């Protein structure tokens, strides 16, 4: 991570046109056809001081870099203004964030924590500790004890009228009254593995901010590790609060990073090692199978040629695909099964058939997020389900919802990934 020391250093990375937009007071008004600017997102901070944080991203189509700026406007106890900003600079082809500029930070230093230190801290906390923090964040979110801004989304393109090469996402969260708030910048560039020698599709980092000043204190340069870990934890959390007491067989649809992460984390909470696996690509499926077997955790893996066959005999099913066509249908899933669907995060993706949703008890990380872009969005827009059909898992964790009346119905958890999970991952990593 390169630390920039002046705005001039940053604008030298941009074209003259993009630099003019960056220097303007209103990016939205200054943008042009070839300069993409995201809709700004805002989060109000209510701690011992009060403040407002606004984030926005900018990218000139075809240019080498994109930028994300997080601006803070705070007042201390004496009502004196504390204004500052943090700008992240990323490679628009790979999505990797490579530099940052902190403005109006005086002598404050920002700690940059590398991946090795992050993994060491997570290891010290342990599985149970990490899971407990994730549960706490889900519950706080559903109980309205957390400020969460809209998700910032911006496409990356190499040509003006060409296809998207990637997406930028920025998610944030602040527990009411807490000393820390978080923003996570993550990019998804689907062509990375083929174009850049196996580079991960998912890149990014998390930034912890002091909730009394609005200034960044720690950058977690995790290369997407914490995002993958907190997403993988949805399997164990869902199983603990929604799942059948005894798992007889696990079905997995998908052979990517998230499918692997779910299996790794489930090893902590179930002794079941019977696994049915479906992947679209035979070569990738065989590679995935060998990777899981090499863990020496005792997995007995059966590869099948149809997602419906994954469901046969399985009472825990993980779907981890970006599919736009349902991979699970109503007649596939046996009564009492828990389905954990975590592959969607973009409008148009849809792993779960509408009829299956209609017949199931539906749980989500966030009602608003999932109805907008998750597995429930198509069914909601088509009128097959309504918002009241959804229950946030945080409500279950906190005890606000009783599951005794559900009986043998299929339970479907749909996760899009939300800022409170990133807040939890950050709290699990940094010393408070």
Which one of 199, 229, 259 terminates a domain? 229
Tens-binned pLDDT, residue by residue, of the chain (432 aa): 899 999 999 999 999 999 999 999 899 999 988 999 999 999 999 888 889 999 999 999 999 999 999 999 998 777 788 899 999 999 999 999 999 999 999 877 899 999 999 999 999 999 999 999 999 999 999 999 999 999 999 999 888 777 778 999 999 999 999 999 999 999 999 899 889 998 988 899 999 999 999 999 999 999 899 999 999 999 999 999 998 989 999 999 999 989 999 999 999 999 999 999 999 999 999 999 999 999 999 999 999 999 999 999 999 999 999 888 999 999 999 999 999 999 877 777 889 999 999 999 999 999 999 999 889 999 999 999 999 999 999 999 999 988 877 778 999 999 999 999 999 999 999 976
Are 89 and 211 contained in the same domain?
A: yes
- pTM, rounded to two decimals: 0.93
Determine phi and psi for 98, rounding to 5 degrees: -115, -15
Same domain for 348 and 261: yes
- Same domain? 14 vs 106: yes
Cα radius of gyration rounded to whole Å, the chain: 22
At residue 264, the pLDDT reads 96
DSSP letters for 186-244: EEE-TTHHHHTTT--SEEEEEEEEETTT--EEEEE--TTHHHHHHHHTHHHHHHHHHS-
Ramachandran bin of 5, using left for φ above 0, alpha for ψ from -120 to 50, beta for the remaining angles: alpha
End of a domain among 201, 229, 257? 229
Domain boundary among 229, 246, 262: 229
**Contact assessment for residue 339 and residue 413, using Cβ atoms and an 8 Å cutoff:** yes
Residue 426 lies in a domain: no
Q: What is the pLDDT of residue 319?
A: 96
| Bridge partners (DSSP) listed for residue 174 | 147
Domain range enclosing 77? 2-229
Whether 146 and 280 map to the same domain: the answer is: no
**CA 374 vs CA 88, 139, 170, 199, 277: distances in Å:** 28, 20, 17, 26, 23
Kind and range of the H or E element at 302? strand 300-303
Q: Which pLDDT does position 431 carry in this prediction?
A: 73
The encoded tokens of residue 38 equal 């995201």
β pairing state of 41-46 and 50-60:
antiparallel
Sign of the C-alpha dihedral, residues 275, 124, 427, 98? negative
Give the Cα separation of 428 and 130 in Å (integer): 6
My answer on whether 218 and 325 are in the same domain is no
Separation of alpha carbons 97 and 343, rounded Å: 24
Total domains in the chain come to 2
Instruction: Kindly state whether residues 286 and 185 are assigned to the same domain.
Output: no
With respect to residue 430, please indicate whether it lies within any of the assigned structural domains: no
Predicted pLDDT of residue 134: 98
Q: Are residues 164 and 254 in the same domain?
A: no
Q: Which two tokens stand for residue 68?
A: 């994300």
Same domain (yes/no): 395, 282: yes
**DSSP 8-state class, residue 415:** -
């Amino acid at each position: 991570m390169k630390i920039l020391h002046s705005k001039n250093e940053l604008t030298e990375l941009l074209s003259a046109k993009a630099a003019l937009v960056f220097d303007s007071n209103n990016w939205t008004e200054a943008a042009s056809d070839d300069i993409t600017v995201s809709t700004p997102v805002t989060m109000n901070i209510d701690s011992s001081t009060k403040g407002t944080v606004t984030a926005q991203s900018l990218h000139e189509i075809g240019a080498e870099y994109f930028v994300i700026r997080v601006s803070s406007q705070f007042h201390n106890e004496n009502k004196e203004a504390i204004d500052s900003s943090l700008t992240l600079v990323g490679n628009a082809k790979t999505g990797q964030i490579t530099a940052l500029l902190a403005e109006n930070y005086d002598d404050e230093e920002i700690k940059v924590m590398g991946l090795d230190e992050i993994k060491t801290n997570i290891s010290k906390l342990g599985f149970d500790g990490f899971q407990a923090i994730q549960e706490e964040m889900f519950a706080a979110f559903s109980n309205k004890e957390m400020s969460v801004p809209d998700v910032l989304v911006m496409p990356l393109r190499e040509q003006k009228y060409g296809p998207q090469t990637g997406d930028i996402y920025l998610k944030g969260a602040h527990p009411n009254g807490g000393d820390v708030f978080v923003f996570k910048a993550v990019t998804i560039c689907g062509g990375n593995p083929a174009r850049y020698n196996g580079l991960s599709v998912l890149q990014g980092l998390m930034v912890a901010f002091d909730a009394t000043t609005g200034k960044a204190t720690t950058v977690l340069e995790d290369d997407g590790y914490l995002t993958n870990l907190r997403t993988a934890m949805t399997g164990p959390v869902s199983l603990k609060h929604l799942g059948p007491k005894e798992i007889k067989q696990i079905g997995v649809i998908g052979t990517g990073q998230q499918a692997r992460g779910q299996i790794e984390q489930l090893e902590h909470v179930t002794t079941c090692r019977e696994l049915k696996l479906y992947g679209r690509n035979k070569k990738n499926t065989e590679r995935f199978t060998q990777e899981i077997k090499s863990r020496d955790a005792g997995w007995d893996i059966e590869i099948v040629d149809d997602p419906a066959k994954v469901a046969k005999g399985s009472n825990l099913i993980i779907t981890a695909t970006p599919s736009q066509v349902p991979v699970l249908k109503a007649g596939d899933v046996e009564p009492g099964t828990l389905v954990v669907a975590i592959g969607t995060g973009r409008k148009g993706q849809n792993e779960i058939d509408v009829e299956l949703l209609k017949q199931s008890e539906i749980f989500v990380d966030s009602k608003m997020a999932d109805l907008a872009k998750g597995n429930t969005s198509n069914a909601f827009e088509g009128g097959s389900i309504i918002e009241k059909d959804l229950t946030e898992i945080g409500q279950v964790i906190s005890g606000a919802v009783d599951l005794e009346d559900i009986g043998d119905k299929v339970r479907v958890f749909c996760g899009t990934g939300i800022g409170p999970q990133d807040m939890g991952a950050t709290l699990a990593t940094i010393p408070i």
